Amino acid sequence: MQQIIFFFIRNKNFLLFVLLFSASVALTLQTHSYHSNKLVNSANFLSGGVYSFKSSITEYFDLKEQNQLLINENNRLRQLLEVQKEIGSVTYLDSLDTSFPFHFVPAKVINNSYFKTKNKLTINKGRTDSLDIDMGVITSLGVVGIVDDVSANYATVQSILNTNSQINAKLKKSEHFGTLEWNTKTPNMVSLTYIPRIAKVSVGDTVSTGGKSTIFPEDILIGAVAQFTLNEGDDYYDITVELFNDMTNLKHVYVIENTNSEEIQLLENGGDDDAE
């Protein structure tokens, strides 16, 4: 205790100076808003730095929730986007308007395979979520496949990497359409057939869905042309398409319901008017 008092007595001038100087500076900072602003700014720089470091660690704890929120928002926006493509303006059309045929349901992939010749995925939505067979399945990057079988709460999807899979696709720039099939060689390359020789093809051209089937709406991305050949005697190109999707790590997908599909198919099959 005595040491402290001695310390104070020995340095009384310095301490007095420090005290009064701090008082004056504090008074200055308080009086001028520019000064106090600068002080607050530099304090913010320090506190901001510490807080952003802390939040970069704690944000890992609610990733799951954030992901779900983002998926829901994506779904909503995708719906709006499809509507806008159809109509050209979203100001008056409610995205849940039943006159618009495509509805999107988000789902998660719980099982996947990509190394067999007939690959299937399992998703965690089923009949209770209004899924049905022959619905298209896509991700934000591109096409995944078509729903194969549906149970109450789950569904299996026939992946694009399946020898049975035949998806209507077109060259985005020229609207020439053909069929997408898989040659079982690699999980990220599929072949586009039936593109006639008068079409102009170059490497890097985008391939998207053609819209000529009731399963996928038009202009959903699939991939880009990786290479193509046209032999002299052929009527059609031999195009290899590299998928935008990485089929090996699929997680969040959207299932597309086309409310007009039944009607269109009935019409195309020329069947009797068996309205139910």
Partner 1 sequence: MQNNEIVVNTVRFIAVVLFQILLFNHINFLGYINPYVYIVFILVFPLTSSKSLLILLSFILGLTIDMFGDSGGIHAAACVFIGYIRPAVLKFSFGVSYEYNTIKISKANFGQQFTYVGLMVVLHHLVLFSLEIFSTEHILLVLKSTLFSGIFSTILILCTILLFSKKS
Q: Which of 21, 51 has the CB closer to partner 1? A: 21
25 near partner 1 (CB under 8 A): yes
Q: Binder to partner 1 among 6, 10, 26, 130 (CB under 8 A)?
A: 26
Q: Binder to partner 1 among 7, 27, 85, 117 (CB under 8 A)?
A: 27
Q: What angle do CA 221, 172, 199 make, to 5 degrees?
A: 140
Quick one: which segment of 6-14, 142-150, 171-179, 259-267 binds partner 1 (CB under 8 A)? 6-14
Residue-wise over 180-206: b if at least 16 C-beta within 10 A, else e? bbbeeeebbbbbbebbeeebebeeebb
13 near partner 1 (CB under 8 A): yes
Number of residues that bind partner 1 (CB under 8 A): 20
In the bound complex, what is the minimum distance in angstroms from residue 12's beta carbon to partner 1?
6
| Closest alpha carbon to 213 in 132, 136, 118, 120 | 136
Q: Binder to partner 1 among 6, 7, 20, 227 (CB under 8 A)?
A: 20
Q: Binder to partner 1 among 6, 10, 30, 128 (CB under 8 A)?
A: 30
In the bound complex, what is the minimum distance in angstroms from residue 7's beta carbon to partner 1?
16
Q: What angle do CA 242, 245, 247 make, to 5 degrees?
A: 100
In the bound complex, what is the minimum distance in angstroms from residue 48's beta carbon to partner 1?
20
Q: Which of 31, 91 has the CB closer to partner 1? A: 31
**34 burial class (0-12, 13-18, 19+ CB within 10 angstroms)?**
exposed
Q: Binder to partner 1 among 6, 8, 24, 54 (CB under 8 A)?
A: 24
How far apart CA 77 and CA 81 sit, in angstroms, is: 6
Q: Binder to partner 1 among 6, 11, 12, 111 (CB under 8 A)?
A: 12
Per-residue contact flags (x/-) with partner 1 for residues 32 to 71, judged by CB under 8 A:
x-xx--x---------------------------------
The answer to whether the CB of 267 falls within 8 A of the CB of 261 is no
Quick one: which segment of 17-25, 87-95, 221-229, 264-272 binds partner 1 (CB under 8 A)? 17-25
Distances (CA, A) of 1 to 5, 6, 7, 8, 33: 7, 9, 10, 11, 42
Q: Binder to partner 1 among 28, 42, 153, 229 (CB under 8 A)?
A: 28
Q: 71 — phi, psi (to 5°)? A: -60, -45
How far apart CA 109 and CA 156 sit, in angstroms, is: 10
Quick one: which segment of 29-37, 44-52, 107-115, 178-186 binds partner 1 (CB under 8 A)? 29-37
Element (H, E) at 35: helix 33-58
| Closest alpha carbon to 201 in 167, 173, 242, 231 | 173
Residues that bind partner 1 (CB under 8 A): 12-14, 16-17, 20-21, 23-32, 34-35, 38
